[in-house]
Amino acid sequence: MRRNHLQRRQFLRGTGALIALPALESIGFRRFATAAPAAPPKRLMFMGIGYGVTAETWFPDMADTGSGYKLPEGLKPLARYKDDFTIVQGCKHQFSRQAHWGSTYWLTGANQYGTPGQSFSNTISADQVAAAQFGQHTRYTSIQLASDADDRNGHGPGDSLAWDQRGKPLSAWSSPLETYLKLFAADDLPLAQRKAMLAEKRSVLDSVMIEAKDMQRGLTQSDTDKLDEYFQSIRDIETRLSKAEQWMDVPKSEAPFVEPDEALVGRSEIEMMYRLMVAAIQTDNTRVITYREPGSRLLSSIGAGGNPHNVSHYRIGGETEVSSKMRDKAHSELLAGLIDLLKSTKEADGSSLFDHVALAFGSNIRSIHYLNNPPTLISGGGAGLKLGQNLVLEEDTPLNNVWLTMLQGVGVNAQSHGDSTGVVSELQA
Amino acid sequence: MPKATATAQVLSANYRPNLNIQIGPIRLIRKIRPMKYVLPAILSLAATFVAAQDTPRAQLPEKHFDFLESYCLDCHDADTSKGEVNLEDLPFHIENIEQAESWQKVLATLNSGEMPPEKKKQPEGAEKADFLDELAQTLVTARKLLADSGGKITMRRLNQRDYQNSIESLTGVRLNEDKLPDDGSSGDFDTVGASLFISSDKFEQYLELGRHTIDEFYERRAARTVEPFVYRVEPEETLNVALREKVARNEEYNRRFDALDAELQAALALPENAGFEKLIGGKKALSNQLLYRKIDLHLDKLKGAPNPADHGFGNFFNAVKFYDKATPYHKHYAGLPYNDTGTWLQLTMGSAKVVVAPPNDMPVGTYKIRIRAGATDDTPEFRHFLELGHPSERELGRGQLDGFPLQALHVTGSPADPQLIETQVEVGKDTTRQFAIRERQPGWGALRKFYFYPAANRNGYGHEPSIWVDYVEIEGPLPQGEPSPLDQIYEENPARSHSSDIERARSILHQFAVKAFRERQPKPEFIDALVEVYQNRLAIDKQFDVAIRTPLSMILASPRFLFLKESGQEGSPRALDDLEVAVRLSYFLWSSPPDSELLALAKQKQLRDPEVMRSEVDRLIQDPRAHEFVSGLAHQWLDMKRLDFFQFNAQRHREFDESTRAAAREEVYQSILHLLRSNDRGQLKNLLDSDYVIVNGLLAAHYGLDGVVGDEFRKVSLPKDSPRGGLLGMAAISAMGSDGIESSPVERGAWVLRHLLHAPPPPAPANVPQLSRLDDKPLTKRGKLAAHMEEAQCASCHRKIDPIGFGLENFDAAGKWRQKEGTGRKAHQIDAAGAFHNGPAFADFYELQDLIAANYEDQFARGFTEALIEYGLGRPFGFTDEELALEILSKAEGNGFQLRDLVQALVSSKQFGTK
């Protein structure tokens, strides 16, 4: 890992090796590039935690609804922001059955067996619905963050929380350092050289396309579909290259803080990722960002015993319950830290970043093997949502109704999402 | 130096498999065990086969209509349809996704206890369990049926294993595993094309790796002409000197400290200081550490306080801070015999590892490492192993390595009669150019906490010395083997061999593309485009040998290299051509492209001759590369990823370190490889029970088997009463059925049902209420899990799972045999007795194993065959493949399901040769 980071870094700082396609994406801030927009844009953030929470101490009492509800132990660290978030209860993804997949379907609600003849399928995730509309304005259409691949326990299949239009997994940046470098690493090459490299990249893509097209001949339909993934990859890179070109002469941004230590793990890793998420949207590098958070690393970094799966099966009165609560507390503390940052960061017009963000924190898994009433915490002032309440919806309300409400709230032109049956009017301010 | 006394052949770098099983003396002693409960094989082969030949249906038995009528239809009949749920019209024969969803909801609401509502009549335990059981199984069938590929084999992208091997076979460069693009984890095998995605970031990774490959290829070429060097480390010249200095320093320090302490204690003893103890926090605070840490702040209140400066200390705090409690430990080691010619390795602190950091440039290539060492008989066998790896970057005078050890090496000589251990390591472009050896060990912290201090209390110093090292030597780079295809292309196209550099580039690129594309011709326009890229690069790079790297690496990211293309037409299957068969075969059995012999046969169109094919399969199986097939298949068939889920608790399982984990994994592979390569003793049932194991010295020590010397895996006959032999006795299987601390009867029982009995329990259902009633009770595992039987939702599966799991309780989490579980007051005798659900009883593990071996041989073969088909054809096993499974099994049945026969039968099947 260590060595990889180092290489990647040299690579990004780099000399323009042809292979460093993503590195070439120059960094810039749209607002510097064009006239400052009248109002700050809306942003969406999703944070998925895989295995759920300690049900008894994280959820507010179902009978104690509304704004005056008593904050449960697991949410105590968020007390100072009690008016700034809402806990939504009673939802469910009707098709979700995999008790160890907290992230795969969290933002999609798809049916694993929805495509005949296939043992796995998925559909577009809520963040990507927004990205399709917001992405054109920013350097990155969307940003996916995750922890290193080996910490996938509790999340289920996928490379991040995000799934594209065709239900294929989208990849993520997997460490704070990588994220920092992608966002802020200086590109010291002269413009002419960068242009030449872009041209070369295009010729690389054009060349392999010749082969791909030739290969298409004589394929069966399902193989043609398979090869289409390859075409789609090339097209995605082309889109990125076009963006890179568009952003090439935009002045470089200044990193808002120093490069993170590459050894951050668990709690400090999440904390840094939160800082980077705020930095990414503050600088308008993207308006849609998801983060699939580490599980086992968080536990070990806060000195909680056990692995995420064992802890998810906590036993009341046992050691695993202690660990489970410690994890919840850490999550809430980190979240409070994120809200701190969002509130203290000012937009160009003097308003706070918090006012223009809609965020969701949670998982498809409630706790243990329960998939009904998953933990769902909504915050941010950007979607016109009614915050500060314990909102208990009718049992088994599609979780996609909540996502749809958020999407529409930030101005995404979506009439439905997945199996949604409508917006949650109680959530609307 | 005295001459070498023994030479061990060892595992090569990175735990690349040792591919030569040295067959030891085979003693044909059959384990004799009481066989009281041998069953007639009720589920005979014939019965299984006939059942399978019916048209597959997802059919819930009609008898269950009574259940619905009794408990559901009052509210959910066609008329009432409460909550818009109408179960009356729901067909028992599930034919589409909607029906499956509806039944899935029935299953879910019953599982969660939501239905029937509390005030309504409730089904009694067994009735509900039976219904849940059959419904869950029917749904598994329905899902399988609805997800059936219909016999389609989707074009496959090279998976990590294929890609790594293909690159190596083309260029000689072996890429690091942790750099390879992910294969995803949808639950299908990694050979299933439909589940292997590609995305833009993977494409970029392929480009990057392609460039890395070509750069390293150039380094390898340059290394061919480099003079090899030898560099030797004599640890007595460094580590021993440092240790002696440390001891001298510590002793001088301790003398001063003791003098200071004597004065302090005298002061504390003065009557006028009687209240001082209370002042700094009570009696406890008088322990030396705490006292010294606090006293500086209260010094003015201590009459006659000594002055630390008189003894060379800045203050009391500093005096205690640098006091080395390990001084007796270091002193003991400094005074050991043989210290003039070598070094005793310390387990923690001090001389914990010997670092080999040659001052020479180290070009890429293979290097030999020689270690002359010996071990003492005074320590247990598991302490007679070295670990070879890269030293950690932060040098803390401990045994830390950077990442996992690369190899474990058995030390069999003694300091008086040392042994020369030889092994090889690979150095690639990014490999750290430093190596280190240490005594094998779990994490440093646990070792110190749980073993060092208890040892010090016992013997007065700490860990007993175990391994003595005379020297460590590295030599290389060793001469490279056969030139790679790309090397050959360069030989055929030397500088100035063409009319121009452009033509030379064109020739190299064309030839390399043909090789990379597995003998298929690239489109001329593609080569033109590559040549253009070369020319553009030349303008920047100026040199041919730099400019050509870009287009070469592009070939390694183009689709015809990354995908195994077979043209075809949906709905009208066609026979593969010879070249396609060659590619399918070599990726099946080697995860690598075909070699020249296979290609030659393909070109002569001989591969469709069954005899030729047969002998080719035999040849491929005997080749070292067949390890790729065995490890790739076994890892997925047996769900071995669980082996890496947990770090083992070093306090409970001192011996289950990374070296044991690696060896335990390799034992599974080597056992299967041994069967695969056997002519007449390759029956699958040997995996259920056998009178031998395939182990190396390290695992033999773990199992308590004597006389197995060295690091190669070999066949070892078992004593009559050994619980080993067969998968159930393997440490890997026990460890997978644990969480690194305790054994898990549920995990193990479910694993046995899935993989040995071919009766997989349905996936763990969501929303089943967790049992917590007994959490606080000091019950045994068995006592706690007994509650599974009280709730129908749990019992429907756990009545099958738990008894088998408990039958395996004599194996602890690390796979060691035990009679008792727990320690001290909580210790209790293990009771492994139980009975199969609706089946025979067993008194202990031996009887359980005998019952499985006697009654489930056919089911086991069936499960393996399904895995083989999925792996080999690259599609999830579905009902489409029923007939194929039957065909393969009936062909292999005569000789008792020999592995090789099963593989041969698949390869000779129509499906294997058809797109």
Q: Which of B96, B198, B646 to substitute to test the interface with A, most A CBs within 10 Å? A: B198
Contact B813, B740 (CB under 8 A): yes
Residue B84, chain A, CB below 8 Å: the answer is: no
In angstroms, the Cα distances linking B191 to A109, A328, B158, B574, B885 are 28, 39, 8, 21, 18
Task: Tell me how far CA of residue A402 lies from CA of A315, A397, A427, B283, in angstroms.
Answer: 31, 9, 8, 61
The pLDDT value given to residue A37: 52
CB contact residues (below 8 A), chain A span 141-180, against chain B? 149, 152-153, 157, 159, 168-171
Q: Out of B257-271, B571-585, B654-668, give the one with best mean pLDDT.
A: B654-668
B765/A369 Cβ within 8 A: yes
**A82 near A318, Cβ under 8 Å?**
no
Please give the mean pLDDT across all residues of chain B. 88
Q: Does pLDDT of B390 surpass 60?
A: yes
What are the tens digits of pLDDT across the range A306-332? 778 878 878 777 788 899 999 999 999
> Mutation test of the interface with chain B: which of A220, A236, A324, choosing the one with the most B Cβ atoms within 10 A?
A220
Phi, psi of A88 (to 5 degrees): -100, 125
Distance CA A203, CA A383 (A): 43
pLDDT digits (tens, 9 = 90+) for B640-675: 988 987 778 888 999 999 999 999 999 999 999 999
Q: Is B572 on the interface with A (CB under 8 A)?
A: no
Identify the residue with better confidence: A129 or B184.
A129
Residues A160-197: tens digit of each pLDDT: 999 998 888 888 998 999 999 888 887 777 888 888 88
Q: Residues 381 to 440 of B: which have CB under 8 A from any A CB? A: 393, 402, 430, 432
DSSP annotation of B391 reads B
Q: Check if the beta carbon of residue B454 is closer than 8 Å to that of residue B347.
A: no
For residue B55, the model assigns a pLDDT of 63
Least confident of B177-186, B205-214, B501-510: B177-186
B229-241 in b/e form (b: 16+ CB < 10 A) is eebebbbbeebbe
CB A416 within 8 A of CB A136: no
Is any Cβ of chain A less than 8 angstroms from the Cβ of B453? no
Report the candidate in A150, A227, A364, A303 with the shortest Cα–Cα distance to residue B196: A227
Domain ranges of chain A: 1-36+188-251, 44-186+256-427
What distance in Å separates the CA atoms of residue B504 and residue B484, rounded to the nearest whole number? 19
Q: How much is the pLDDT for B40?
A: 38
Q: Do A207 and B533 touch (CB under 8 A)?
A: yes
A413: closest CA of chain B, how far (Å): 27
Q: Tell me: the pLDDT tens digits for B176-205? A: 988 898 886 667 899 998 888 888 888 999
Q: List the single range of A161-165, A403-407, B198-202, B712-716 with lowest mean pLDDT.
A: B198-202
Instruction: Using an 8 Å CB-CB cutoff, list chain A residues near B200.
Output: 232-234, 236-237, 240
Nearest to A368 among B194, B207, B770 (CB): B770
Q: Is the confidence at residue B414, as pLDDT, over 60?
A: yes
Confidence at residue B2, expressed as pLDDT on a 0 to 100 scale? 41
Is B320:B288 a contact under the CB 8 Å cutoff? yes
Residue B876 in contact with residue B192, Cβ under 8 Å?
yes
A273-294: per-residue pLDDT in tens?
999 999 999 988 999 999 999 9
- With cut-offs at 50, 70 and 90, classify the pLDDT of residue B582: very high
B578 contacts B607 by C-beta, under 8 angstroms: yes
Tell me what pLDDT residue B395 has: 60
What is the pLDDT, as a whole number, of residue B19? 35
For the cut 90, the answer to whether the pLDDT of residue A35 exceeds it is: no
How is residue B835 written in tokens?
A: 């009975």
* Residues 6 or more apart in contact with residue B248 via CB below 8 angstroms: none
Angle at B606 between CA B602 and CA B608, to 5 degrees: 100
Q: Which residues of A touch B147 (CB under 8 A)?
A: 113, 116-119
Confidence of residue B88 (pLDDT cuts 50, 70, 90): confident
Please tell me the predicted confidence (pLDDT) of residue B279.
78
Give the confidence band of B54 by pLDDT, cuts at 50, 70, 90: low
Q: Which of residues 17-56 of A touch B (CB under 8 A)?
A: 17-22
CATH fold for the domain made of B229-234+327-476 = Jelly Rolls (2.60.120)
What mean pLDDT is predicted for residues B881-887? Answer: 91
DSSP structural state of residue B767: T
The pLDDT of residue B273: 87
A376-409 burial by CB neighbour count: b if 16+ within 10 A, else e? bbbbbbbbbbebbbbbbbeeebbbbbbbbbbbbb
Contact B726/B686 with Cβ under 8 angstroms?
Answer: yes
Residues of chain B neighbouring A98 (CB-CB closer than 8 A): 763, 766
Give me the sign of the Cα torsion angle A187, A190, A196, A199. positive
State pLDDT tens for residues B720-774.
999 999 999 999 999 999 988 889 999 999 999 999 999 988 877 776 666 554 4
Q: In this model, does residue B32 exceed pLDDT 60?
A: no
A401 touches chain B (CB under 8 A): no
Q: Looking at residues B93-109, what average pLDDT do you find?
A: 83
Domains of chain B, by residue range, sit at 61-146, 156-224+480-564, 229-234+327-476, 238-321, 742-855
CA distance A176 to chain B (A): 18
pLDDT over 70 (residue B775): no
Q: Is B541 or B880 the better-scoring residue by pLDDT?
A: B541
CATH superfamily of A44-186+256-427: Alkaline Phosphatase, subunit A (3.40.720.10)
Residue B652 touches chain A, beta carbons under 8 Å: no
Chain B residues whose beta carbon lies within 8 Å of the beta carbon of residue A229: 197-199
Q: Does B584 touch chain A (CB under 8 A)?
A: no
Q: Please state, in angstroms and rounded to a whole number, the distance separating the CA atoms of residues A382 and A384.
A: 6
Rg (CA), chain B: 33
Q: Can you tell me the distance from the alpha carbon of A239 to that of B64, in angstroms, rounded to the nearest whole number? A: 57
Tokens linked to B147: 């997800």
Q: How far apart are CA B794 and CA B788, in angstroms?
A: 5
Q: Do residues A75 and A332 touch, judged by C-beta distance below 8 A?
A: yes
Determine the Cα–Cα distance for residues B561 and B179; give it in Å rounded to an integer: 18
Partners of residue B569 in chain A, C-beta under 8 Å: 220
pLDDT for residue B51 is more than 60: no
In contact, B690 and B725? CB cutoff 8 Å: yes
Stretch B800-812: mean pLDDT: 95
B-contacting residues of A 105-134, CB under 8 Å?
A: 111, 113-114, 116-120
Q: Which residue has better confidence, B243 or A243?
A: B243
Q: In this predicted structure, what is the pLDDT of residue A348?
A: 84
Assign B710 to helix, strand or coil.
coil
B199·A19 Cβ contact <8 A: no
For residue A152, pLDDT over 60 is answered with yes
Three-state secondary structure string covering chain A: CHHHHHHHHHHHHCCCCCCCCHHHCCCCCHHHHCCCCCCCCCEEEEEECCCCCCHHHHCCCCCCCECCCCCCHHHHHHHHHHHHEEEEEEEECCCCCCCCCCCCCCCCCCCCCCCCCCCCCCCCCHHHHHHHHHHHHCCCCCEEEECCHHHCCCCCCCCCCCECCCCCECCCECCHHHHHHHHHCCCCCCHHHHHHHHHHHHHHHHHHHHHHHHHHCCCCHHHHHHHHHHHHHHHHHHHHHHHHHHCCCCCCCCCCCCCCCCCCCCHHHHHHHHHHHHHHHHCCCCCEEEEECCCHHHHHHCCCCCCHHHHHCCCCCCHHHHHHHHHHHHHHHHHHHHHHHHHHCECCCCCEHHHHEEEEEECCCCCCCCCCCCCEEEECCCCCECCCCEEEEEEEEEHHHHHHHHHHHCCCCCCCCCCCCCCCHHHEC
Most confident of A226-235, A389-398, B756-765: A389-398
Q: What is the DSSP letter of B39?
A: P
Please give the model's pTM, rounded to 2 decimal places: 0.83
SS3 B143: helix
Contact A226 B557 (CB under 8 A): no
Q: Position B730: which residue type? A: M
Using a CB-CB cut-off of 8 Å, the residues of chain A touching B744 are none
**Res. A423 pLDDT band, cuts 50 70 90:** very high
Cβ of B147 within 8 Å of Cβ of A118? The answer is yes
More confident residue, B570 or B46: B570
The per-residue pLDDT of chain A, averaged, comes to: 86
Categorize the per-residue pLDDT at B53 as very low, low, confident or very high, splitting at 50, 70 and 90.
Answer: very low
